[in-house]
C-alpha cells in the first residue's frame, strides 16, 4: 500500500527514520525554545503588564533559537537534535530569517510604548537607550547582527571565498551570542532582579559556544587521528572528477548508499576547509569510498593538484537519502542532474550488488553529452541487472542516439515510466537546486505524492 511506504524527503522535512523521528526532532527543538521563558515563569518574574509579557516571550524564544542556530549545524552524532544535518540546516535557514526580523525590530518594540505616550518622550527614551553605557553591548550586538544577516543573505554575491564567509559567519555568531548575553544579563529587566535568570543565560550561552568549539577545535583532532588516504583522483568527464579514498583499518566508517560526507583534503583537519560531497560508492566497495565531483569553483577546480597517498579527513556519513526509504516500493526512479549523479550511482551500485529485481530507471541530465560519467559501467548494468535502463538527457544538441534533448522534464520522465503503475514507486532526485525544484514540480504533475519523493540538493 502506498501509505505504508515511509519515504523521507528534504522537501517535506522528514528523515531517514520517518515522520516519527521528524516529530521527535521538532518536539525536542520546541522544548528547548520554551526553556528560558518557562524559567521566567517559574522564577515568578514580573513582566510589567501584557506588552512586557509578550515581548519577554518573543525575546526569550528568539534568543534561545539563536543559541541553537549553530549547534544545529554542528553534526554531533551523539545528540539526536544536532546530528540530523538535513533537518537542521533547513531549520537553520528558516529560523534564521525570523530571527533577523525579530532582532532587527527588538529596539523598536522596546521603545514603541514610549512613543505612544508622546513623540518627545519616545525620542528622549531612544536617545537615552542609545547613549547609556549599559546599552553598549546591546547596541554593538545589534549593529553586528544587521551586518551579519546581510552578509548571509548576499553571501553568493560577496567577493570572498565561501570558506571565508563560513568562518566569519561562525565568528559573527560567537561575538553576537557573547554580546547579547552580556546585554541580557546587564540591562535585561529580568536579570537585574533575578540572579538565577542570569545564571541560566550564561549557562545557555556557554553551552552553545562549547558546541561550536567542539566542532571547530575538538572534532578536527578526532578526524586527524583517523585519516583516510587518497587512493585515486581522475578526470571522468569534461567537467567531473572521481575521487577515491581508502579508509584506514582503525577508522569506523559505515554508511548507506545515497548519504554524503564532508571531506577535507587541505592537510589541516580544521573544519573551515571541508566540503560536502555525496558518496558515489556503496558499502560493498569499502574500504574504498568514491565521490564524483564537478568542477565549479576554487576548490573543485584544483582537484588535479591533489597527491595520491595524502591524508584526507572525512566527517560523515550524513544525510537522509538512502535505499531504506524504498524498501516497500514496487519500482525505483533515480533522477540525477549534473553532479547529482554521485548518490544515484551509489544507490544503483547497491541495488546491483543486492541483485534487486524491481524495475529501476535512471534519468541522467547534463548540459553536454561529454559531461556524462561512468557510461561503460551503467551500460553494462543495463545488461546484467534484472530490469534497469538509463535515459540520458542533454540540454545541448548531440549526435548520440537515444539521448533526450532538452532538460529533465515531464515528458522525459513519463516516457521512461512506460506503462507502469507508479503509485507505489519511489523517486530519488539529486542535483542543483533549480533542477530539484523543477523536477519536483514535474513529479507533482505526474501525480507522484511528496512522500514518495526523496531528494538531495547540492547546497544547504
Ligand X SMILES: Cc1cc2nc3c(=O)[nH]c(=O)nc-3n(C[C@H](O)[C@H](O)[C@H](O)COP(=O)(O)OP(=O)(O)OC[C@H]3O[C@@H](n4cnc5c(N)ncnc54)[C@H](O)[C@@H]3O)c2cc1C
In the complex, which residues of this chain contact ligand X (CB under 6 A)? 156, 161-163, 260, 274-278, 291-294, 296-300, 339, 342, 456, 458-460
Residue nearest to ligand X (CB): 297
What is the per-residue burial (b if ≥16 Cβ within 10 Å, else e) of 227-251?
bbebbebeebbebbbbbbbbbeeee
Pick between residue 87 and residue 277 the one whose CB is nearest to ligand X: 277
Distance from CA of residue 213 to its chain's centroid?
A: 19
Collapsed DSSP state (helix, strand, coil) of residue 154: coil
Q: How far apart are CA 290 and CA 212, in angstroms?
A: 29
Identity of the residue, 45 or 230, whose beta carbon is nearer to ligand X in the bound complex: 230
CB of 457 to ligand X, least distance (A): 7
User: Is the CB of residue 321 less than 8 Å from the CB of residue 258?
Assistant: yes
180 vs 293, beta carbon nearer ligand X:
293
Write the DSSP string, 273-317: G-EEEEB-S-GGGTTEEEEEEE--STTGGGGGG--TT-EEEEEEE
Question: What minimum distance in Å lies between the beta carbon of 72 and ligand X?
Answer: 15
Residue among 65 and 293 whose Cβ is closer to ligand X: 293
Give whichever of 203 and 460 is closer to ligand X, judged by the CB atom.
Answer: 460
C-alpha span between 316 and 213 (Å, rounded): 18
Least distance in angstroms from the C-beta of 5 to ligand X: 23
Nearest one of 344, 372, 375 to 360, comparing CA atoms? 344
Residue 205 near residue 176 (C-beta atoms within 8 A) = no
CB of 267 to ligand X, least distance (A): 16
Characterize 421-435 residue by residue with b for buried, 16 or more Cβ atoms within 10 angstroms of its Cβ, and e for exposed: ebebbbbbbbbbeeb
Counting every residue written for the chain, the total comes to 460
The H or E element that residue 438 is part of is: helix 433-445
CB of 458 to ligand X, least distance (A): 4
Rg (CA), the chain: 25
3-state helix, strand, coil in the chain (%, to 5): 55, 15, 30
Q: Which is nearer to ligand X, 53 or 272 (CB)?
A: 272
Cell, residue 189: 529587566
| Nearest distance in Å: CB 366, ligand X | 12
Q: Which is nearer to ligand X, 316 or 331 (CB)?
A: 316
The CB-of-210 to ligand X minimum distance in angstroms stands at 22
C-alpha grid cell, residue 427 = 523517486
d(CA 85, CA 193) in angstroms, rounded, equals 39
Give the relative orientation of helices 19-42 and 49-72 as an angle to the nearest 10 degrees: 140
Rounded least distance, CB 99 to ligand X, Å:
21
DSSP per-residue letters across 419-435? T---TTEEEEEEE-HHH
In the complex with ligand X, the residue whose CB is nearer, 60 or 86, is 86
For the CB of residue 295, give the shortest distance to ligand X in the complex, in Å: 7
**427: which DSSP letter?**
E
In what helix (H) or strand (E) does residue 168 lie, and over which residues does it extend?
Answer: helix 162-186
- Do the beta carbons of residue 277 and residue 220 sit within 8 Å? no
Residue 216 vs 299, nearer CB to ligand X = 299
Beta carbon of residue 294, minimum distance to ligand X (angstroms, whole number) = 4
Q: Which is nearer to ligand X, 25 or 64 (CB)?
A: 25
Amino acid at each position: 500500500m502506498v501509505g505504508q511506504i515511509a519515504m523521507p524527503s528534504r522537501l517535506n522535512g522528514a528523515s531517514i527514520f520517518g515522520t516519527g523521528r521528524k516529530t521527535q526532532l521538532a518536539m525536542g527543538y520546541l522544548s528547548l525554545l520554551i526553556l528560558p521563558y518557562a524559567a521566567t515563569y517559574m522564577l515568578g518574574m514580573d513582566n510589567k503588564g501584557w506588552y512586557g509579557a509578550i515581548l519577554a516571550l518573543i525575546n526569550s524564544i528568539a534568543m534561545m533559537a539563536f543559541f541553537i542556530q549553530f549547534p544545529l549545524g554542528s553534526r554531533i552524532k551523539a545528540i539526536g537534535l544536532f546530528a540530523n544535518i538535513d533537518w537542521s540546516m533547513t531549520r537553520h535557514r528558516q529560523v534564521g530569517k525570523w530571527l533577523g526580523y525579530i532582532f532587527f525590530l527588538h529596539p523598536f518594540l522596546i521603545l514603541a510604548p514610549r512613543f505612544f505616550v508622546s513623540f518627545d518622550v519616545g525620542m528622549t527614551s531612544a536617545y537615552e537607550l542609545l547613549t547609556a553605557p549599559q546599552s553598549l553591548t546591546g547596541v554593538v550586538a545589534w549593529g553586528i547582527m544587521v551586518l551579519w544577516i546581510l552578509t548571509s543573505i548576499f553571501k553568493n554575491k560577496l567577493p570572498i571565498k565561501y570558506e571565508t564567509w563560513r568562518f566569519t559567519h561562525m565568528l559573527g555568531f560567537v561575538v553576537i551570542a557573547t554580546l547579547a548575553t552580556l546585554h541580557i544579563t546587564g540591562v535585561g529587566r529580568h536579570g537585574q532582579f533575578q540572579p538565577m535568570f542570569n545564571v541560566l543565560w550564561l549557562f545557555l550561552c556557554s553551552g552553545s559556544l562549547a558546541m561550536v568549539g567542539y566542532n571547530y577545535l575538538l572534532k578536527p583532532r578526532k578526524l586527524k587521528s583517523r585519516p583516510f588516504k587518497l587512493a585515486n583522483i581522475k578526470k571522468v568527464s569534461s567537467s567531473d572528477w572521481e575521487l577515491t579514498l581508502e579508509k584506514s583499518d582503525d577508522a569506523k566508517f559505515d554508511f548507506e548508499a545515497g548519504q554524503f560526507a564532508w571531506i577535507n583534503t587541505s592537510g589541516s583537519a580544521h573544519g573551515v576547509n571541508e566540503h560536502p560531497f555525496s558518496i558515489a560508492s556503496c558499502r560493498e566497495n569499502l574500504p574504498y569510498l568514491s565521490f564524483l565531483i564537478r568542477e565549479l569553483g576554487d576548490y573543485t577546480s584544483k582537484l588535479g593538484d591533489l597527491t595520491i597517498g595524502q591524508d584526507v579527513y572525512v566527517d560523515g556519513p550524513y544525510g537522509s537519502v538512502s535505499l531504506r526509504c524504498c524498501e516497500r516500493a514496487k519500482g525505483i526512479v533515480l533522477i540525477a542532474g549534473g553532479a547529482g549523479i554521485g548518490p544515484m550511482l551509489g544507490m544503483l551500485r547497491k541495488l546491483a550488488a543486492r541483485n534487486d529485481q524491481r524495475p529501476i530507471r535512471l534519468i541522467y541530465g547534463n548540459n553536454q553529452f561529454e559531461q556524462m560519467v561512468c557510461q561503460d559501467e551503467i551500460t553494462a548494468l543495463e545488461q546484467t541487472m534484472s530490469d534497469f535502463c538509463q535515459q540520458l538527457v542533454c540540454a545541448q544538441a548531440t549526435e548520440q542516439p537515444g539521448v533526450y534533448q532538452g532538460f529533465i522534464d515531464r515528458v522525459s520522465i513519463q516516457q521512461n515510466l512506460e506503462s507502469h503503475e507508479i503509485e507505489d514507486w519511489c523517486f530519488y532526485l539529486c542535483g542543483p537546486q533549480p533542477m530539484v525544484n523543477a523536477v519536483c514540480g514535474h513529479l507533482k504533475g505526474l501525480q507522484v505524492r511528496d512522500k514518495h519523493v526523496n531528494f538531495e540538493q547540492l547546497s544547504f
